[in-house]
Amino acid sequence: MAVAMNKPDISEILSPMPEAHPRIYAYGIASKAHAGLLKVGQTSREVKKRVDERLIIQNTSEDE
């Protein structure tokens, strides 16, 4: 006697994806090396926090 095996549905295999709200942002860096340039990025997080993170990284790398 053959037992019928049902294939699982994709929703049964994968975890539910969190709801994302991607945002594109641009900002300028106040330095002579970046005069007239804009940095552009994309995030699903709060834009101000993401830009603040980038500015901390940028300031750290300029100190070296």
The confidence score (pLDDT) of residue 2 equals: 67
The confidence score (pLDDT) of residue 63 equals: 52
Q: Residue 42 domain-assigned?
A: yes
Confirm if 43 and 25 have CB atoms less than 8 A apart. yes
Q: Residue 30 domain-assigned?
A: yes
Which conformational region is residue 12 in: left (phi greater than 0), alpha (psi within -120 to 50 degrees), or beta? alpha
CA-based nearest residue to 44, from 63, 64, 62, 17: 17
Q: How many domains does the chain have?
A: 1
State the pTM of this model: 0.55
Residue-wise pLDDT tens digits, 18-62: 888 899 999 888 889 889 999 999 999 899 999 888 888 766 665
Largest separation between any pair of C-alpha atoms in the chain: 79
CA-based nearest residue to 50, from 23, 21, 18, 30: 23
For residue 51, the enclosing domain spans: 19-63
Asked whether residue 64 carries a pLDDT value surpassing 80, the answer given is no
